[in-house]
Amino acid sequence: MTVYLVGAGPGDPGLLTVRAAELLARADVVVHDRLTSAELLELAPPSAERVDVGKQPGTPVDQGGINRLLVEAGRSGRCVVRLKGGDPFVFGRGGEEALALEEAGVAYEVVPGITSAVAAPAYAGVPVTHRGLATSFTVVTGHHRQALDAEVDWEALARAGGTIVVLMGVAHRGHIATRLMAGGRDPGTPVLAVRWGTRPFQEVVRTTLGQLGQVEVKPPATMVIGAVSALDLGWYSRRPLLGWRVVVTRAPGQAAALVARLAEAGAVARSIPVISIEGPADGGVALAREAGRAREYHWVVFTSANAVRRFLPLLRDARDLGAAKVAAIGPATAKALEEHRIVADLVPGTYVAEDLVASFPPPPQAGGRVLLPRAAVARDVLPEGLRSAGWEVVVVEAYRTGRPQPGPSADDLAWARQADAITFTAPSTVNGWLEVAGREATPPLVACIGPVTAAEAASRGLHVDVVAGSHTITGLVAALEAEAARRGGRRGPSPDR
């Protein structure tokens, strides 16, 4: 089988190529380096073997061993993905691995990646070329002191002009600066150093060539030397939740949208599900019965997308709803209805039961019936409110919330203890969290989707800092962003601190 030498990009999982994602998804073996982010490894099937050939800085690299491993794995007939940071052929020793496979007669393919030499500066606000400032850029290694002196003509590089991008050069930065200045580069030349580029905990140091040896820069970092480094196109650093670590507690399969929104805002979000959505206790008998006579109701009211997804597939025919009107508590529920080609007749202005009751029409003179398929455990505001308005209300269990098996791992809980914030999207997530993780593991900032969830959290002794004004995922992220702005956008520390 083929060994794929795949560029993993600089870190941001969004910078993986489509081809790389496709190959990861069907890998049997993933051979990766120390700097590979966990999110990328998650793209491989759970059953895939993951081999860390982590090259710790300072330890001698056994490239021969890695080559032999790739040859053997390739011969075993499995789909082997050799995942390499950035681009495999830019200081990645990908060429050597390809040669070894070539010599052994093992089929291989190369999937180029986005190199950190260009991407890390871009996320730090610096284009490596810029009209009027630099018409070329050179990517050079600053790794081995001997090789550095013997193989890189720094003075000539200095004279050649253009931007100089140095990879693996942090340890020798003072020496590199001295040589570039000896070649004629001005000590005032702007320098940018980016550590963990394209990641939410990206660190940026701005200095000058003359100062480079004295300022603190920690590896792994990309250094950019040249006039372009004075530019600061701060699109990434302005992300409202940059570096925030946020726990998402939704059920498995329902967390993705919130995790994605948080990531777009710059946060590192981790899904730690504390509830699971399960079928009704009676196996769905009552729900199926009511679905079969849905046309006998004037209204069917849904208070969650979960109820929609349990109820609608039970209709044998879309017309089984007859003339019954349909209400949705909020936009996510309405969207779930639309997936079944049903447009909600009523969505209240604010997405809480009280408002749904207030915006509900009065029953007809001859009496009216409402079907309410919903969670086993829920508040009584809706049925009671509708009943006191004169409606006959039938409540039927559509689903139950349980605890996911297995629960959060020790690693999840340790991560949560270090996190900046936690999000709760329903009272059940509050109770689930306190049961499986406990108050002691709760991050300092608690954000709730609405007043009902907030009240539950407060009643369980949590201090609620953020309550979304609009009770949706979008509203929740917006409220967190506003809180971050209020706190001056505090950044989370990098993972090795």
The DSSP element (H or E) to which 400 belongs, if any, is strand 392-402
| 32 three-class SS | strand
Dihedral angle, C-alpha 354, 358, 362, 367, nearest 10 °:
10
CB of 495 to ligand SAH, least distance (A): 12
Give residue 395's Cα distance to chain centre: 37
* Residue indicated by tokens 């590089």: 157
CB of 425 to ligand SAH, least distance (A): 32
Cβ atoms of 120 and 197 closer than 8 Å: yes
- Whole-angstrom Cα distance, residue 384 to residue 404? 31
Give residue 350's Cα distance to chain centre: 28
Q: Which is nearer to ligand SAH, 35 or 51 (CB)?
A: 35
CB of 80 to ligand SAH, least distance (A): 19
- Whole-angstrom Cα distance, residue 256 to residue 113? 25
* Residue indicated by tokens 């049961």: 435
Cβ atoms of 16 and 93 closer than 8 Å: no
- Whole-angstrom Cα distance, residue 136 to residue 488? 38
* Residue indicated by tokens 């850029």: 137
CB of 233 to ligand SAH, least distance (A): 17
**Residue, CB closest to ligand SAH:** 86
CB of 159 to ligand SAH, least distance (A): 24
344 burial level (CB within 10 Å; 0-12, 13-18, 19+): buried
Q: Which is nearer to ligand SAH, 91 or 311 (CB)?
A: 91
- The token duo for 409 is 């791992």
218 burial level (CB within 10 Å; 0-12, 13-18, 19+): middle
CB of 197 to ligand SAH, least distance (A): 3
**99 CB-near residues (< 8 Å, 6+ apart):** none
Catalytic residues: 33, 55, 168
Q: Which residues bind ligand SAH (CB under 6 A)?
A: 10-11, 35, 84-87, 90-92, 115-117, 120, 167-168, 194-198, 219-222
CA-wise closest residue to 342 among 307, 376, 378, 292? 307
The DSSP element (H or E) to which 152 belongs, if any, is none
Cβ atoms of 41 and 32 closer than 8 Å: yes
Q: Which is nearer to ligand SAH, 129 or 494 (CB)?
A: 494
Q: Which is nearer to ligand SAH, 120 or 347 (CB)?
A: 120
The DSSP element (H or E) to which 94 belongs, if any, is helix 94-104
CB of 391 to ligand SAH, least distance (A): 59
Cβ atoms of 423 and 445 closer than 8 Å: no
Q: Which is nearer to ligand SAH, 168 or 272 (CB)?
A: 168
CB of 32 to ligand SAH, least distance (A): 13
Q: Which is nearer to ligand SAH, 200 or 348 (CB)?
A: 200
Q: Which is nearer to ligand SAH, 194 or 426 (CB)?
A: 194
Q: Which is nearer to ligand SAH, 20 or 90 (CB)?
A: 90
